[in-house]
Chains A and B, each alone.
Chain A
Amino acid sequence: MKYSTKHMNISLIRHFLNISIIVIISSLLACNERSIDGLSAPTFPENGKVFMDDFTGDLIYAAFGGSDVKAFQVDYETTYNNSRASMKYEVPDANSPKGAYAGGAYFSRTGRDLSGFNALTFYIKATQSATIDVLGFGNDFGLSTYQVAMNGLSVNTNWKKVIIPIPDPQKLSGEKGLFYYSTGPINEKGYTFWIDEVQFEYVPDLGICTGSIYNGEDKKIPSAEKGSTIRIEGTQAIVNLPNGVNQTIAISPAYLEYKSSNTTIATVSNQGIIQVLDSGNSIITAKLGDTKAKGSLELSAKGTAQIPTNQAPVPTVEAGNVISLYSNAYTNVPIDTWNTRWQYSTTDNSFIKINNDDVIRYYNLNFVGIEFSANQINATAMTHFHIDVWTPDPTTNPNNIKVMLVDFGANAVYGGGDDVSHEITITAPTLKSNQWISLDIPLSSFTGLTTKAHLSQLVLSGTVSNLFIDNVYMYKTVSTPTVPAPIPAYPAGDVISIFSDSYTNINGTNLSPSWGQTTVVSQPKINGNSTLLYTGLNYQGIQFGSNQNVSSYGYLHLDYFSSNSNSLEVFLISPGPIETAFTLAVPTGSGWKSIDIPLTAFTPVALNNVFQLKFVGNGNIYLDNILFRK
């Protein structure tokens, strides 16, 4: 091969042909003796024709980079079956200043539905016996997802019909790459060949098509490295032609469907890219259509998986204040896809479980589109975007993760001039490696996202190539809790309660001792449940009715809520005073947060003789179910 399909230079676009399709009405075997059930003739779509007496449809020809750009011409002299015209190819001599070889592709700008055909056929002859390096279809000068190549075709001075089977016609419902060729001089000498009557057709007596990977062999990779990617090679199809001969063709990996026997060890993308996820063994096999492909890959991977060992923090925002895209904690809205596989995206993904919690794993991340345009999200009432992220990759500056939200605007469709988006870049110290990071990004920070009624896309990108995500949702903060704190279920005998409607509280406790604070203390009821509210907290104490021995208790439990605090500590105090602070995460989003603080966290406080609690911070804090428990 003298060209690369991925990075080809289009050195010449020579033919812009818009010729109406020539309908050829051919009577199909008027007289036959066939009458077996199930052998009805297929319907023949009319757009299989590529070059009969002229180009059909909206074909463009482009020569491959480095080739003789004038190698191809339409010829009116040497034609098959005395038809009007044929395609003539002049292969240059070696070292010709015009180019090193002849090669190019014919592609349709709009694409063709070829799913009703089973082969590309044409007639070919040459000025001498020669071997054409490659002929095929599926080269569209783009991704060329479904490329087929017949290599090393022998030709001579007689017209001969060539059949290049379509491995799986179902895949070609919108194929743009209709025909391509590439070949060089023979013994440094050029020659000429002609091709005519190029068309996709249904060849009724084409035999069974069998796919293969690794050229049909059972390959072993005994020491694959965890985290590495492996491209499946040697994807082929063997088809028995109507003359009984087996023809091997090279096919794109995308024609096959892949299976990994152990998806926790390795996954395979539909492009045939294996991602080695963990140490262990997996056998990769493939199918072409419904038929098992020959060949396999037995993979033995070594190394430790770089995946989270614990699940992401369970969200605490009340479900009523959430629009969830991906979380086990909520009912999620429909998402079109978690990987749009946009052009130039190398990202692949798998859906995995960590401690039974569903997590999306992205690898080979450069950028990934997440689309929900079919069920757009109206986030006008929401205040925050939340996502939990985990990466094993370096996160020191300037490494980053970027989060972009896209709104399709008033017309609710892509384009039209009203689409808006904004991207937020997350860096250290917020970003850390090997631990879950909960990002709560105010939607107001997405300053370019001037409309939020038709959110349709989320785009993740950054410098990290491995990214795990969980709990993707929008939520709104509320300034007061709308429901009471969760009712504690500990047995009364295991509890010393300071403030709770569920237990008998220590008699004589002062919920607002005068320690010089400016905090205003009140006890609003939420749905009849007493709640402690600190408005405008600077600090605030609680003086127990009597000193308590909690040395046989395990935890200080409390429920708290704050939409506007960004600093909150709780102190446990024994006489001296001996006091130790424990930091509480605020704000709490838009729901109660329950926390059980191990009493060991308050060392060196004398647990056998505690008598006060103190809260220090800012904002408005709701508290409930303040108790010691076993």
Chain B
Amino acid sequence: MNILYTVFAITMISLSMLLSGCEEQAVQTLPERAWTLTWSDDFEGAAASSPDKLKWTYDIGTGNNGWGNSELEYYTNRPTNVQLNGEGQLVITARKESFSGSGYTSARIKTQGLFSQTYGRFEARIKTPTGPGIWPAFWLLGDNITEVSWPQCGEIDIMEQRGQEPAVTHATVHGPGYFGGNAKTKAFGLLTGRFDTDFHLYAIEWGEDYIDFFIDDFLYQRIQPSDLTGEWVFNKPFFIILNVAVGGNYVGYPTTGTPFPQSMIIDYVRVYKKS
């Protein structure tokens, strides 16, 4: 997410026998994987309080060139942009307001320096915001970003959505030779309903040389080294990021019809290791 993207047509790629073809079964039969919880946040706490500082830290400001994407928001750690709602949920709210030279505010929180893990299941139950130019995401970055920089560190986007397509979510990996417009990505659309009207469970199950992407426990994307046009950089620790961006090259820009404020509500984030 932190370099220039170009919007491009998504090519449907057949994944495996299980996923190809037109008549999947309503319930997938997947190999049983036993998991042990290693890290989680259920966002329990008083309303209007900030998320657990032992688990989360913040990206503040506008980054470099709108976090590499010409994004419009100014990220803050104010409760008005990021707070617990007192009902066991975290709320990240994008607002249309003038703040330190930006026209919008929002928040981006991460576990960098506090938690990272190699492999396992990463999941979050989220109700996403909507509207043209609204860009919510639940994603991972390689721990070694400070040493090797992006895209060599690798990026796993478990959930990214464009607010003008409320019924579509995206799963993507970025790495050396496949990033930005050339990233390895797949869209998943709901035939009926939208992602902003209900909570959905976004997850990856990640092991040596594979990453499986799930929506509501339905496997819709598997990425392996052979799928990539560059080096596989995903056999090392990654940390977690949650944010709502406003505008930018990936999503386009807000219109007069974009509803503000817009909130992403996160019920929980959980990380497991294989038992």
Whole-angstrom CA separation of A31 from B28 in the bound complex: 16
A205, B190: Cβ atoms closer than 8 Å: yes
**B163: Cβ under 8 A from any A Cβ:** yes
Which of A29, A35, A241, A244 makes the CB contact (< 8 A) with B218? A35
A244, B166: Cβ atoms closer than 8 Å: yes
A240, B193: Cβ atoms closer than 8 Å: no
Residues of B within 8 A of A36 (CB): 190, 215-216, 218
B22, A207: Cβ atoms closer than 8 Å: no
Smallest distance from the beta carbon of B7 to chain A beta carbons, Å? 15
Which of A30, A208, A240, A245 makes the CB contact (< 8 A) with B255? A245
Given A205-B194, A207-B194, A244 and B131 touching (CB < 8 A)?
A: yes
**B19: Cβ under 8 A from any A Cβ:** yes
Given A29-B191, A207-B196, A240-B196, A35 and B164 touching (CB < 8 A)?
A: no
Whole-angstrom CA separation of A245 from B190 in the bound complex: 18
Chain A contact residues (Cβ within 8 angstroms of B): what range? Answer: 20 to 34
A244, B134: Cβ atoms closer than 8 Å: yes
**A576: Cβ under 8 A from any B Cβ:** no
**A290: Cβ under 8 A from any B Cβ:** no
**B24: Cβ under 8 A from any A Cβ:** yes
**B54: Cβ under 8 A from any A Cβ:** no
Smallest distance from the beta carbon of B18 to chain A beta carbons, Å? 11
Whole-angstrom CA separation of A399 from B24 in the bound complex: 76
Contact pattern, A 346-371, Cβ under 8 Å of B = 1, otherwise 0: 00000000000000000000000000
Residues of B within 8 A of A207 (CB): 130, 166, 194, 196-197
Chain B contact residues (Cβ within 8 angstroms of A): what range? Answer: 20 to 34
Which of A35, A40, A244, A247 makes the CB contact (< 8 A) with B165? A244
Whole-angstrom CA separation of A34 from B24 in the bound complex: 9
Which of A31, A39, A246 makes the CB contact (< 8 A) with B192? A39
Whole-angstrom CA separation of A35 from B24 in the bound complex: 8
Given A39-B193, A204-B192, A30 and B22 touching (CB < 8 A)?
A: yes
Whole-angstrom CA separation of A246 from B130 in the bound complex: 10
**B257: Cβ under 8 A from any A Cβ:** yes
Contact pattern, B 124-168, Cβ under 8 Å of A = 1, otherwise 0: 000000111010000000000000000000000000001111110
Smallest distance from the beta carbon of B220 to chain A beta carbons, Å? 6
Whole-angstrom CA separation of A205 from B196 in the bound complex: 10
Smallest distance from the beta carbon of B170 to chain A beta carbons, Å? 13
**B25: Cβ under 8 A from any A Cβ:** yes
Given A240-B131, A244-B130, A33 and B188 touching (CB < 8 A)?
A: yes
**B26: Cβ under 8 A from any A Cβ:** yes
**A41: Cβ under 8 A from any B Cβ:** yes
**A42: Cβ under 8 A from any B Cβ:** yes
Interface residues of B (CB under 8 A from A): 19, 22, 24-28, 130-132, 134, 162-167, 188-194, 196-197, 215-216, 218, 220, 255, 257-259
Q: A31-B22, A35-B218 known; 19 other A-B pairs, CB under 8 Å?
A: A33-B19, A34-B190, A35-B28, A36-B216, A36-B218, A37-B26, A39-B190, A40-B192, A205-B166, A205-B193, A240-B166, A240-B196, A241-B257, A243-B164, A243-B165, A244-B132, A245-B257, A246-B131, A246-B257
Interface residues of A (CB under 8 A from B): 29-37, 39-42, 204-205, 207-208, 240-247
